[in-house]
Amino acid sequence: LTGERYKTIAKETAGILKGEYGHTPVPVNAALQARVLEGGAPVTCRPADLLKPELAELEADVKRQAQEKGIQLAGNAIDDVLTVALFPQIGFKFLENRHNPAAFEPV
């Protein structure tokens, strides 16, 4: 269709060639990998090791926002932190109205 093989490379394919999904079961095409890397190096370690820890920062942010909004967090605050992490758009609304069932849609 484009007249050339691999002229267009999808984002996910580029991620595989860069090593963002871990090691492939077989070696990848070296020329194609070099084209995608553009002089950079592939990921050779466990990709999750490259992520920075975010939980402590999120916990401090949730506690700060809860204090500003007058929300009492659960005894084990990590439960509320995970609620906000998993549901960022509605997490605080839930925490504000946790003891007020009328604030939520009926079942």
- Helices and strands counted in the chain (H then E): 5, 0
* Amino acid type, 31: A
How much is the mean pLDDT over the chain?
91
Distance CA 47, CA 51 (A): 8
Enter the pTM of the model: 0.59
Tens-digit pLDDT profile for residues 9-55? 999 999 999 999 999 999 999 999 999 999 999 999 999 999 999 99
Give CA–CA dist 87/46, Å, rounded. Answer: 27
Domain ranges of the chain: 11-50, 55-103
What's the per-residue H, E or C state across 13-62?
HHHHHHCCCCCCCCCCCHHHHHHHHCCCCCCCCCHHHHCCCCHHHHHHHH
